[in-house]
């Protein structure tokens, strides 16, 4: 019985960790949207900044990845 409750808590927690996806989505959308806004104002400077765009997206995404890590830990390590 006690193990079942722990199991239930782990599954609920893993589901709740999906909320981190929303945060990562906002972050990535923010980076890409602002890049596009800047690129449309000054298209000639945009090509040189694509590397920065991807680095920004990768860093924003990293925190979403950590919620995935939490879900994995709850599913397989608890």
Residue (13 or 49) nearer to another protein, CB: 49
Q: How far is CA 50 from CA 9, 21, 27, in A?
A: 42, 24, 17
**Among residues 68, 72, 74, which one has the least CA distance to residue 24?**
68
Dist. CA 4–CA 7, nearest whole Å: 5
Minimal distance in Å, beta carbon 39 to another protein? 18
How near is the Cβ of 19 to another protein at its closest, in Å? 16
Nearer to another protein, 8 or 75 (CB): 75
CB of residue 60 vs another protein: minimum separation in angstroms?
Answer: 11
């Amino acid at each position: 019985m006690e193990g079942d409750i722990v199991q239930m808590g782990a599954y609920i927690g893993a589901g709740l960790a999906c909320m981190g996806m929303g945060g990562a989505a906002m972050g990535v959308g923010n980076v890409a949207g602002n890049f596009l806004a800047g690129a449309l104002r000054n298209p000639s400077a945009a090509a040189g900044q694509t590397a920065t765009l991807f680095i920004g997206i990768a860093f924003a995404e990293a925190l979403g990845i950590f919620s995935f890590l939490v879900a994995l830990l709850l599913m397989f390590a608890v």
